[in-house]
Amino acid sequence: MLNKNLLESVMKAHGDTGTSLSQFLGMARSTFSAKINETNGAEFTQGEIASIKEKYDLDAEKVDEIFFTTKVS
């Protein structure tokens, strides 16, 4: 499960918006929106995650926190 708030805080810290990151990833803004909101099961691909990791210089732990956390209820 995606930690949307953490991804958005990383984006904001780097001066990015959903539009700028979607352009960087080469996808339509609507596709990015579906993925960040996990609409209809949309998820970031491993390649997209790798690009985001590189863009923001994220370590493996931060990538896990953002993209692979399980929500505790």
pLDDT in tens, 61-71: 999 999 997 76
In the chain, how many domains are there? 1
Task: Please tell me the pTM assigned to this model.
Answer: 0.91
The answer to whether residue 72 scores a pLDDT higher than 90 is: no
The answer to whether residue 73 scores a pLDDT higher than 60 is: no
Q: Which of 50, 6, 4 is nearest to 25 (CA)?
A: 50
Parent domain of 45? 4-67
Instruction: Tell which phi-psi region holds residue 71, choosing left (phi > 0), alpha (psi between -120 and 50) or beta.
Output: beta
Q: For the domain that residue 24 is a member of, what is the CATH number?
A: 1.10.260
What is the b/e burial string over 46-68, where b = at least 16 CB atoms within 10 angstroms of the residue's CB? eebbebbbeebebeeebeeebbe
> Is 54 part of any domain?
yes
> Is 72 part of any domain?
no
CA dist., res. 33 & res. 72, Å (int): 24
Q: Dump pLDDT digits (tens) for 25-55.
A: 999 999 999 999 999 999 999 999 999 999 9
